[in-house]
Each structure stands twice: as structure tokens, then as C-alpha cells.
Amino acid sequence: MNVRPPVFASQGWYPASEHACRQAIEEYLASFPGEPTGRHAGIVPHAGWVFSGKTAAWTFAALKEAAPEVVFVFGGHLQSSAWCICMPEGAFGTPLGPVPVEEQIAEEMVEHFTCHRETAARPAPDNTIELQMPIIKAVWPDASVVAVQVPPCPDAASFGSWAAAAADRHGKSAVAIGSTDLTHYGANYGFTPQGTGEEALRWSKEENDRPFIDRLLALDTTGALGHALANQSACCPGAAVAAAGFALARGAGGGRLVEHTTSHEVDARGVPRMWVGYASIVF
């Protein structure tokens, strides 16, 4: 099996040792305050685990009982005009062991959407997808994955609807995960429309993040994508919309917001000047 190395673990985005990685995931899952009510899909953030690991894990905790054979993971920091990217064979390495690609479905996706082909030996490093793999391995140890970087293009939702149909054709139970962070606010991101301080943080969270979240909750894929592109309210809206498209294809009536927070709230230090928004949503 060709195993893609977990480069972001070696860079400190999440624990590189098996013991520390498993311990962190178990602690995040144990802190989940709700019930496992998700059935079809979820939205997760993808910052370093010290900031957003708990929020991401709560999405998986809410979906745990779905027990899928295949997990479609949508991510990717791409421009609207970019090609999708997929690794159609091999496995994703994690500190907990490899997560295998569901190769037949992945190959079909590459051909259907004319995706750029990644290989385990020559990947394009991508935190949006890699950071979910250890949690998938911990929560669903026997699951395989189809991981795709989806551009924020007008037909982004079709990646999800196609995935749902492909899982059905192959007789596989499946869920979809869309990986996106929300508003990137601060001078380092070149985005300070409300200055700095508590009012800017409130605006970022309630007036910029929240309309994007609300459109996802309503499964308004066109509205969610449009809001993100017009307002810089999500960094990977194509991925989120693809997961919502999967949920729509599965007959979901809407989503549930599990958590909405920011990096400043997770690790508050002085006056708010720079932060990123995170949300956990399940359908």
C-alpha cells in the first residue's frame, strides 16, 4: 500500500505520536456535550488542533453512529477556476495507522470530474483533508475514504450529489465531511473592515460567519457559496457546499449547529486583533 506521509503532524499541527494523538482525540470526543444525531454529513474546521481540534471532533462525535464504510472528505484551498484534486489510490498515513482510499469510487470521481491526480509519493500538502484523517481512523477504524479538493465553483454541490449516488451504486454506506474555516480576520489576513477589538470580533462572528452558516443549515448551497465569495466568510466554501450537496441528495431537511467559535475565544490573549472562525455542523 502506498501511504501518504502525514506532513502536518511533523509540523506540529496535531500530535505526531500515536499515544498523544489518540489521547487528544479521546479527550475531544469525551467533551462532546450532545447526542450523536447526525446521519449524513458534517462541516469541520482545519486549523491546528490546539485551536480547532475539539470543534472538528464534535462533528465526528455527532455522526459516530452512522458507522460508514466510506467517508467522502471534501477540502481544498482552491480558486474558483482551479481543477479539483484527488488521490485515487493508496492510503493517508496517520499516527494511528493508514486510512485506505476507496479506490474504485475515487477513480470514478477523478474521471467524472477530470480531477488532477495526486499520488502518495507526490502529494500536494493540504491541511484541510489531512487533519481529519486521524479522527476518522479513531472514530471509524475500518472506513475507507475518498478525499477531494473541491474548488468554489458554481457546481461544487454536484461533487456531493455525485458521491451519494456513487456510494449507492457500490452498495456502500457513506457520510460526507466538508472542511472549511470561516472568516479570517486581522491585518495578517488583509481583512479588517471593522477595525479591531470586541466589536470587530462580534461583527466577524455574528454578521459575517453567521449568514454563511445559516445558509448551510438551510442547505442553500448557492446562497452559501455566494456569501462566502462575496464576504470572505469561508476559506473553502466549495468543500462545505459539496458536503451540503451530499446531505441534500440523502434527503436531509437541514442542519444543526453544534459549535461556532473563533481562535480568539479558544486562546484569548488581550484585545482581539486577529482570529479565524470555526464551526461544527451536522446534517
* pLDDT tens sequence across 48-98: 999 999 999 999 999 999 999 999 999 999 999 999 999 999 999 999 999
> What pLDDT does residue 177 have?
99
Torsion, Cα of 135, 139, 145, 148 (10° steps): -40
Give 268's pLDDT tier (boundaries 50, 70, 90): confident
* pLDDT tens sequence across 108-150: 999 999 999 999 999 988 999 999 999 999 999 999 999 999 9
Strand 144-149 relative to strand 70-75, pairing = parallel
Q: Please choose, from the candidates 34, 21, 57, the residue with its C-alpha nearest in 3D space to the C-alpha of residue 139.
A: 57
* pLDDT tens sequence across 31-41: 999 999 999 99
Q: Over 80: is that where the pLDDT of 1 sits?
A: no
Percentage with pLDDT > 90 across the chain: 97
Residue ranges and CATH numbers for the domains of the chain are 3-28+39-282 (3.40.830.10)
- Mean pLDDT, range 158-180, rounded to an integer: 98
104, burial (CB in 10 Å: exposed 0-12, middle 13-18, buried 19+): middle
Q: Which pTM value belongs to this model?
A: 0.97
Q: Over 80: is that where the pLDDT of 102 sits?
A: yes
